Amino acid sequence: MRITMKNNNITRIKFYTFFFLACFFLILPSAFPQAPDRSKPPEIGPPPSMKLPPIQRFKLSNGLPIVLVEKHDVPLVHIELLVDAGTALDPADKEGWASIATALMQDGAGTRDALQIADAIDFLGASISTSSGYHSCGVSLHTPLSKLDSAIVLFGDVALSPMFPPAELDRNRKELLNELIQWHDEPRAIASVMFSHAVFGKTHPYGRQSIGTEKSIRSMAIDDVKAFYGKYFTPGNSTMIIVGDVTEKSIRGRLERIFGKWQGKEAKKVEIPKAEQVKGRQIYLVDKPGAPQSEIRIGRVGVARLSEDYYALLVANTILGGSFSSRLNQNLREQHGYTYGANSRFDFRLYPGPFMAGSAVQTVITDSAIIEFMKELNRILEPVSDEELTRARNYITLRYPESFQTIAQIAGKLIELEMYNLPDNYFSNFTKNVLAVTKSDVQRVAKKYIDPENIAIVIVGDRAQIEQKIAALNLGPIIHKTIPEVLGPMPVLEGDK
């Protein structure tokens, strides 16, 4: 009997030992995961869809439109006063009109001078800034919710009651003239101005310098600044965008107290003339003696923001030069080592802006770099691969949500929505529209908008070292330019005379 019981105990021990060993080996793979397969990239999940809070719209008693997006996760508020004006509307004899006028708005407002305004804003932990673009001007406020009542008063002073003190105009004028002086020694600035002249001409609004010329800056008077402000800064010509920890109920009264009595109608619309497309190939060589690098810009008139080809162009340009893994960057940087980076872009504006490809390259290989640029501009006209298409679409869609991380970024996106009168579901449909782009779409828009036979080539570099090699490429006639011919004579400040 004892022997039988002993045998039974041994049997049980063996069974449990086997059972526990079996369980151990069954859970072993999950407890100690296998090494990842590094022979191929991991699978990319589906792009996330955008789910923003609802866009709310209402108007103040004076008709000022308000666009509101509530974001209650952080006690912050961001407000943008968007004005339908900009540097593209500067008269030909008043280049820099919009830039100077908006800059002066924060240099004294209400009962405070520039320093008092700055101190009051800093005390609140807020920020107020003014800005001007090609087709918009505005004033922005970023503030903690706890300081909103005080901050919005300052914001209202800057937006509605700027002083425009003559002394501040003189200071801004000197700063702008100093900037023009610095441009004379900055190849990148020279190339940008020359490129705008080459593509649009000096008389087109997109071909002019947004900060103005020496002549226009020196001739600007306080009456000019006040005239710009009075013409465009009206509730009928503006929209207010608000993002943050507020509701319509909590913000409406505050806005009415500050902005409700603001008066003025919409400014008369000014149509910008159609830009003539670049015809043939021309090389603009700006001499910068002793330059260790050459700045290269290659491009032509592109396309307006509201083009039906917008999404296809985003994908096509991402493949060509819109990302680190783009063809241009992989060719000129990774393969040949000519540069730290090469890129391309379509500058989408209210009217057709420029298409531009460019880089800064070593002087001795300027001609070789141009060859590779032209090679890629021709190659994008051919069908792209499935892999390139997928990578470009993923690059655009997977990065898109990061543009909505802060309330200031969301407000910036709403500015785009309002400027171009896009539908409220634009953001939620963006990913779907990008993913719908096909290889044939990419080839079609590339052929339509990128024409290497009709393109401007701008080079800023040491003419003595690069001209002969560039001429040997036989890409087109070379037009020689000096820096003063591009930027005008270098300004002379009164203290330097």
Query: What is the rounded average pLDDT for all residues in the chain?
Result: 91
Least confident of 38-42, 333-337, 405-409: 38-42
Dihedral pair phi/psi, residue 227, rounded to 5°:
-65, -40
- In angstroms, the CA 149 to CA 143 distance is 10
Are 225 and 164 in contact by the 8 Å Cβ rule? The answer is yes
pLDDT at 4: 47
- In angstroms, the CA 5 to CA 9 distance is 6
**pLDDT of 24 over the 70 cut:** no
- In angstroms, the CA 145 to CA 367 distance is 56
Structure tokens at 239: 């929209």
- In angstroms, the CA 86 to CA 72 distance is 33
Percent of the chain with pLDDT over 90: 85
190-to-163, 246, 446 alpha-carbon distances in Å:
34, 45, 28
* Nearest of 332, 331, 389, 334 to residue 361 by alpha carbon: 332
Q: Which helix (H) or strand (E) holds 110?
A: none
pLDDT at 271: 85
- In angstroms, the CA 59 to CA 61 distance is 7
Q: What is the mean pLDDT of residues 266-284?
A: 92
Question: Which one is predicted more confidently, 28 or 367?
Answer: 367
Taking the model in full, what pTM does it have?
0.88
Are 305 and 420 in contact by the 8 Å Cβ rule? The answer is yes
For residues 9, 13, 16, 20, the Cα torsion angle rounded to the nearest 10 degrees is 170
Are 76 and 105 in contact by the 8 Å Cβ rule? The answer is no
Q: What is the mean pLDDT of residues 136-149?
A: 97
249-to-71, 124, 254, 411 alpha-carbon distances in Å:
14, 23, 10, 19
* Nearest of 407, 104, 384, 72 to residue 250 by alpha carbon: 72
Domains of the chain with bracketed CATH: 56-259 (3.30.830.10), 281-490 (3.30.830.10)
- In angstroms, the CA 376 to CA 333 distance is 13
Per-residue pLDDT reduced to its tens digit, 241-255 = 999 999 999 999 999
pLDDT at 268: 85
